C-alpha cells in the first residue's frame, strides 16, 4: 500500500514540475516577445513569474539553456504549422513563400534561430546540446516527409532542402536588420538596391534556385 502511495506522490510531483516548467517557459516567451534577446533578464523573468531567481535555475541551468528550450518549442510549433499548409503538389515558389511566411508569423522562432549557433549553443552543456540536436533531427525528418510529397523529391533530397532552407532563412532575414528608412526620401537607385535585399524576395528567389538544383540532381533515395 505504501509503495502505491509513494508512486502516486512521485507522479503528481513530476506532473507538477512539468507544469511549473511550462509555466516558466510561457512567461519567458511572453517576456522575450516584449523586450527581445539582449534586454532579457533572468531576474526580471523571476519577478514576472512570481518566483525567486534561484527557482529558474532549478529548471534551466543557464539563460541560454532557457533560450534553447524556447527555440526547440518554437521549432516544433512552427513545423506543425508549416507542414499543415503543405499540399500534395506545390511549386517550389509556393513552398518557399509558405515557409517564409509561417516562419515570420511565429514571433519567437526566427529571432532564436538567428542566435542559435553563434550565441545560444555556446553556453549550454554538451549533453543538453546533444539533446537539442536530436530534437532538430526529428523535426527535419518530420518536415521532410510532407516536403518530399509536395515537391516530388526523394527522401534524401527533401531532407537536404529542409536543412538548406533553415540556413537560407537565417541569411536572408539578417538583411532586414539595418536601420529603418521607411520615412526617408532616398534616390531611386538606392531604393531599388534596398528593395533587392529585402528578405522575402531574397529568400524566395534563392530558395527556388536551391530546390530546383537539388531536384535536378540524381540522388538515390534510401
d(CA 63, CA 66): 5
pLDDT digits 0-9 by tens, 134-162:
999 999 999 999 999 999 999 999 999 99
CA gap 170, 119 in Å, rounded: 14
pLDDT above 80 (res 190): no
| One domain for residues 176 and 113 | yes
What's 46's domain CATH number? 1.10.10.60
What is the average per-residue pLDDT within 190-198? 54
Domain housing 132: 62-216
Last residue of a domain, one of 59, 77, 106: 59
Q: Give the model's confidence band at 110: pLDDT under 50 very low, under 70 low, under 90 confident, else very high.
A: very high
Q: What are phi and psi of 207, to 5 degrees?
A: -65, -45
Do the Cβ atoms of 198 and 176 come closer than 8 Å?
Answer: yes
107 phi/psi in degrees, rounded to 5: -65, -25
Query: Which CATH number characterizes residue 122's domain?
Result: 1.10.357.10
Instruction: Give me the pLDDT at residue 87, please.
Output: 86
Least confident piece of the model among 6-10, 78-82, 88-92, 153-157: 6-10
Residues 165 and 80 in one domain: yes
Is the residue at 221 inside a domain? no
Residue 116 CA to chain centroid, in angstroms? 9
Q: According to the model, what pLDDT value does residue 219 have?
A: 52
Amino acid at each position: 500500500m505504501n509503495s502505491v502511495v509513494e508512486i502516486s506522490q512521485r507522479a503528481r510531483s513530476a506532473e507538477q514540475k512539468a507544469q511549473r516548467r511550462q509555466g516558466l517557459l510561457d512567461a519567458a516567451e511572453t517576456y522575450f516577445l516584449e523586450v527581445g534577446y539582449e534586454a532579457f533578464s533572468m531576474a526580471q523573468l523571476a519577478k514576472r513569474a512570481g518566483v525567486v531567481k534561484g527557482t529558474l535555475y532549478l529548471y534551466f541551468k543557464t539563460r541560454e539553456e532557457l533560450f534553447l528550450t524556447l527555440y526547440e518549442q518554437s521549432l516544433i510549433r512552427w513545423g506543425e504549422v508549416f507542414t499543415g499548409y503543405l499540399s500534395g503538389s506545390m511549386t517550389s515558389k509556393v513552398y518557399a513563400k509558405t515557409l517564409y511566411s509561417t516562419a515570420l508569423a511565429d514571433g519567437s522562432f526566427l529571432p532564436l534561430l538567428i542566435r542559435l549557433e553563434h550565441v545560444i549553443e555556446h553556453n549550454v552543456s554538451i549533453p543538453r546540446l546533444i539533446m537539442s540536436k536530436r530534437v532538430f533531427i526529428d523535426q527535419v525528418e518530420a518536415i521532410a516527409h510532407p516536403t518530399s510529397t509536395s515537391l516530388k523529391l526523394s527522401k534524401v533530397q527533401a531532407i537536404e532542402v529542409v536543412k538548406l532552407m533553415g540556413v537560407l532563412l537565417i541569411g536572408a532575414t539578417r538583411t532586414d536588420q539595418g536601420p529603418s528608412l521607411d520615412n526617408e526620401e532616398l534616390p531611386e537607385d538606392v531604393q531599388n538596391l534596398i528593395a533587392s535585399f529585402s528578405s522575402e524576395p531574397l529568400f524566395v528567389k534563392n530558395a527556388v534556385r536551391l530546390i530546383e538544383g537539388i531536384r535536378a540532381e540524381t540522388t538515390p533515395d534510401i
